[in-house]
Amino acid sequence: MFSDVNKDFKAKTGDLMKRGIAITLLGATMLLAAPFASLAQAPAPPTEPGPQTPPMVAPAKPGVFTATKKGPTGYHLVVTGHSFTSRDAIEHYLAYRAATLTQEQKNSWFTLTETHAKGDTVPASKPDPAGLRYSFRMAYWRPMWRTKSAGSPAWKSWSPFSGAAFPDAKSISDYEVSADIVMHKGNMNDADPLAFEAGAVDDWLVNQVSPPT
Kindly state the smallest distance separating residue 69's Cβ from another protein, in Å: 22
Return the residue of 75, 93, 96, 136 that touches another protein, per CB under 8 A: 136
| Closer residue to another protein (CB): 128 or 152 | 128
CB-nearer residue toward another protein: 33 or 150: 33
Residue 89 in contact with another protein, rule: CB under 8 A: no
**Quick one: which of 131, 115, 106, 139 has its CA closest to 190?**
131
In whole angstroms, what is the distance from residue 163 CA to residue 188 CA? Answer: 30
Using the rule CB under 8 A, which residue among 43, 59, 123, 153 binds another protein? 43
Residue 74 interacting with another protein (CB under 8 A)? no
Q: Which of residues 148-187 bind another protein (CB under 8 A)?
A: 187
Distance CA 113, CA 143 (A): 9
Q: By CB under 8 A, tell whether 72 contacts another protein.
A: no
Residue whose CB is less far from another protein, 174 or 191? 191
H/E run at residue 86: none
| Measured CA distances, 106 to 65, 97, 110, 183, 188 (Å) | 20, 14, 11, 9, 14
